[in-house]
Structure 1
Amino acid sequence: MISRRSFLSLSAATLATATVLPLAARTASAATPATFGLKLVNNSGSGTVYAYVTGTTPDGRLVLLRADGSPYYPDSPGAAHTPLPEDCAIPVGSGAQVSVPKMGGARVYVVTDAKLDFFLDPGPALVHPSFLNPDDPNFQKNWSFSEFTFNDEQLFANISYVDFVGIPMGLSLTTSGSGTKTVNGLPSGSLDAISSELSALGGNWPGLVQTGGGGNLRALSPHHHADQFGGYLDGYIDQVWQKYEGTDLVVDSQNPGLGTFTGRVSGGQLVFGAESFAKPATADVWSCDSGPFAIPQGASDARKSIVPRLAAALNRTTLLDNANQPTAEDPAKFYQGDVTNHYARIVHAKLPDNRGYAFPYDDVSPGPDFSGAVFAGDPDVLTITVGATHG
């Protein structure tokens, strides 16, 4: 399993995870090229589209690309929230292409009808646009992003709906010899359809829809309103814990070197040998990285394998019915209960190829690829197609 969470990260201040190269991606071939081409295609319906590329160099420096593709390394400012000294907007217009050097924890932002405002904190650390702070100058703008890491082993890029649904984006990666990899992403107009379905659910689900300028701006993941969902999943999780007091739960690491782990609930803990898990709260399930799903530094390989599969099964509400995770998972049975991650259900229902991260461990799979990732050790051109937000 190639994990978005484990692969995308060199920028600890803003996108904190640890870069781990998937074993399946390692080859005996030469290292990746020095750069890859980033091509931007504008199908948004707006003649005013800008892109921004930002990440962290292999030696730890903050880097952005200028409009001509040259790298810009900001100096540390004297005060917090200092406006970025250079305009790093890449005009997309009818199309654009720049060369991208090695960088990790990277993002490609796109925005229509305006430019984004970026700021620096001492470090320097980039202050990214906020979709949670109404006072952020970018809050009312129509923007979204894709993620990538490009190192000596491979380019890994993905479409992510882990935070929100905004501007539809598609990815296509051409390579020098390993074929073309494509993730279609959400079709144009999906934001309105997703927002409508969330609103129709009632309860706290309509609160995930952000509006502005007479239309929908974004549909947020429930992770960002976890406090409003309180004990939403408590009843389901209680049933899971009761079942596995008397039934074995088998979790396949999907790693031949680790094999499977068998657990049962004992003393209120779901115990797999030396690893045990307290009942998670709804917020822990939505985030996949808090409470019993936190993976501290120095955690065992067993815990690193079990956490994603438990978190995925709880988001998909299949853990009660399937005691063999994720081997016997049937995608047709994901999100079927009245109580489930309806955000993920609705997003996946709109994806033409069912591929895109709707929660952090959405790459857990019995076989089919549900992730929104493309990757290769011989990247040539990564094309990002920007679609229309509204139908």
Structure 2
Amino acid sequence: MFRRLTRRLPARLRHRIAATATALATTAAGALLATGAAAPAEAAVPATIPLQITNNSGRSGPVYVYTLGTELSSGRQGWADASGAFHAWPAGGAPPVPAPDASIAGPGPGQTATIRIPKLSGRIYFSYGQKLVFQLATGGLVQPAVQNPSDPNRNILFNWSEYTLNDSGLWINSTQVDMFSAPYAVGVQRADGTTATTGHLRPGGYNGFFNALRAQPGGWSGLIQTRSDGTVLRALSPLYGVETGALPASVLDDYINRVWQKYATSTLTVTPFADQPAVKYYGRVSGGVMNFTNSSGAVVTSFQKPDANSVFGCHRLLDAPNDQVRGPISRTLCAGFNRSTLLTNPSQPDTSSAAFYQDAVTNHYARAAHAQMADGKAYAFAFDDVGHHESLVHDGSPVRAYLTLDPFS
């Protein structure tokens, strides 16, 4: 019924966390892209920073905000109140028991409110109209799993941003890894007064995204969830679509088969680190398995032919451990499959977005999400940061963070 809060963070945030001694454990592996230098000592990051929340949604009714995550100084899971004070979760149960009410009253329509967020790695949830249902299991906090029809949050309109605030600064994103729902943008004000923002949709982008899914043959419209009154709530990620049967499990088979056929007679070259162009791995399919060799010709890792679940989730047959070989190769393969660039470019990663999603068989959810973003950036699958196409902002000395609830248009 529920999934653990720590299930998946975007790759760049995951590896910032992994570099922290008291990092949040996560089951999803991540990319190894650089996340920027640590903040200088004279610009130490304070214990909390302001988060300015602006409600431009145009919707009436209350908004509820939650700051949930893992305290990086102690490794404890918990929540923060409006002042940024951290509260550890009490013990959970089996079956899960209700969590303490961690909601913060958000701004009304057209208004702005400011709260403070502490040094956590976690999520900032927001919901419209009613509070979210959170519960505690024996292993800690669980989060809504709206792909389950019986989940108590299924008919609530909500979304979340993921963030990490630590001694090296702030990372905050707009994510569509699990679902595309209530529109929002995030930002950070730098010490010099400038701001960086991402996540805003193009004019008409919210409706444009859902219209694109409805028009796409092959079952993609099955990802859309609506309330009984017809209100569109969200589109599930294609991973959840495959897992629940809303999207056919064979949806990527044709493309995957063509890739495996191509590299049975040619070589796929992977250069996983932008700052290490001499590090290359060479993939060739033999006996149905893609083996990667290093420059000396030694096999360093191998992949069975993946299925759609593995591709959309960047896991299972495309598992990406937090290492220096298999993980970086896997994340590159995952990006190439989702963006359908593996047939057109034998040198990966392909970082030019002009070539993405051009095959008829592709991740049309990710294609539609990127197409509707004002800056073209999105986190539509777990390794969407390969080539820096993710909707993430970072600063080593953040003055404040921003969360803007955008119009449903």
Same fold (TM over 0.5): yes
Is contact 1:52-1:90 (8 Å) kept? no
**Aligned twin of 2:166:** 151
Pair 61,251 (structure 1): closer, same or farther in 2 beyond 3 Å: same
1:338 aligns with 2:360: yes
User: Does structure 1 conserve the Cα–Cα contact (< 8 Å) formed by 2:66 and 2:104?
Assistant: yes
1:245 aligns to 2:271 (yes or no): no
Match of 2:67 among 29, 48, 53: 53
Which of 34, 42, 46 aligns to 2:47? It is 34
Q: How many angstroms does 1:202 deviate by?
A: 3.0
* Separation in structure 1 between the aligned mates of residue 213 and residue 392 of structure 2, nearest angstrom: 25
CA contact (8 A) 1:295 1:304 kept: yes
Name the residue aligned to 1:97: 114
Instruction: Give 3-state SS (helix, strand or coil) of 2:282's partner.
Output: strand
Quick one: which amino acid aligns to residue 6 of structure 1?
Answer: H
Partner-residue secondary structure (3-state), 2:336: helix
Q: Which amino acid aligns with 1:264?
A: R
Question: Which residues of 2 match residues 102-141 of structure 1 at below 5 A?
Answer: 102-104=119-121, 106-123=122-139, 125-141=140-156
Aligned 8 A contact 1:52 1:110 in 2: yes
1:187, distance to aligned residue in structure 2 (A): 4.5
Task: Give the equivalent residue in structure 2 for 1:25.
Answer: 36
Contact in 1 for aligned 2:79/2:88 (Cα 8 Å): yes
Gaps of 5+ in 2: 1-9, 294-299
- For residues 85-122 of structure 1, the C-alpha deviation after alignment (integer angstroms, 9 at most, x for no partner) is 34432332222112222111x10111112222222223
CA gap of 1:8–1:137, structure 2 versus 1, over 3 A, is farther
Structure 2 vs 1, CA of residues 347 and 289 (structure 1 numbering), >3 Å: closer, same or farther? same
Name which of 320, 323, 346 aligns with 2:346.
323
Q: How many pairs align? A: 379
> Counterpart in 2 of 1:175?
190
Separation of aligned partners in 2, 1:126 and 1:37: 25
**Equivalent residue for 2:210?**
195
Give the drift of 1:78: 5.1
> Displacement of 1:161 after TM fit?
0.5
Question: 1:350 offset after TM fit, Å?
Answer: 0.5
- Please give the per-residue CA displacement for 1:268-290, whole angstroms capped at 9, x wherever unaligned: 22221221111111111111111
1:178–1:378 CA contact under 8 A, matched in 2: no
Aligned to 1:231: 250
- Report the aligned-residue RMSD: 2.5
Task: Give the Cα–Cα distance (whole angstroms) in 2 for the partners of residues 379 and 168 of structure 1.
Answer: 24
Deviations 1:284-333 (A, max 9, x none): 11111111x1134xx64111211111110111111011011125x43222
Which residue among 372, 375, 381 is the counterpart of 1:353? 375
Instruction: Please state how far the C-alpha of 1:177 moved relative to its aligned partner.
Output: 4.0
> Identity over aligned residues, as a percent?
36
d(CA) in 2 for partners of 1:311, 1:78:
37
Distance 1:214 1:184 in 2: 26
Separation in structure 2 between the aligned mates of residue 131 and residue 197 of structure 1, nearest angstrom: 22
The alignment partner of 1:25 has SS state of: coil
Aligned residue among 301, 314, 339 for 1:275: 301
1:69 CA drift (Å): 3.6
Residue identity in the other structure for 1:99: R
Write the distance in 1 (CA, Å) between the matches of 2:287 and 2:27.
34
Paired residue for 1:217, among 233, 246, 249? 233
Where does residue 3 of structure 2 map in the other structure?
none
- Determine if contact 2:123/2:161 at 8 Å carries over to the other structure: yes
| Structure 1 Cα separation of the partners of residues 355 and 403 of structure 2 | 32
Greater shift, 16-25 or 252-261, is seen at: 16-25
Show the counterpart of 1:261. Answer: 281
CA distance in 1, matches of 2:283, 2:240: 31
SS state of the match for residue 75, structure 1? coil
Q: For the residues of structure 1 that align with 2:105 and 2:30, how far apart are their CA atoms?
A: 27
Between 212-221 and 252-261, the greater mean CA deviation after superposition: 252-261
Which sits farther off after the overlay, 202-211 or 263-272? 263-272
Contact 1:175 1:376 in 2 (8 A): yes
CA distance in 1, matches of 2:96, 2:11: 35
SS at structure 1 position matched to 2:320: coil
TM-score w.r.t. the length of structure 2 is 0.85
Corresponding residue number in structure 1 for 2:319:
294
Cα displacement string for residues 42-100 of structure 1 (whole angstroms, at most 9, x for unaligned residues): 01113421211101112111221224443222221455322223443233222211222
Q: TM-score, length-normalised on structure 1?
A: 0.89
What letter corresponds to residue 262 of structure 2 in structure 1?
Answer: K
Q: Could you tell which deviates more after superposition, 278-287 or 41-50?
A: 41-50
Amino acid at match of 1:238: N
Equivalent pair of 1:119/1:128 in contact (CA under 8 Å): yes
Whether the aligned pair in 2 keeps the contact of 1:240 and 1:319 (CA below 8 Å) is yes
Distance 1:234-1:115 versus aligned 2 partners, 3 A rule? same
Residue 27 (structure 1) shift: 3.8
SS at match of 2:325: helix
1:275 & 1:80 partners in 2: Cα distance? Answer: 40
- Residues 330, 295 of structure 1: CA spacing in aligned structure 2 closer, same or farther, 3 A cutoff? closer
Distance 1:141 1:313, change over 3 A: same
How much has 1:11 moved relative to structure 2?
4.2
Q: Deviations over 1:129-149 (max 9, x none)?
A: 232222222211110000011
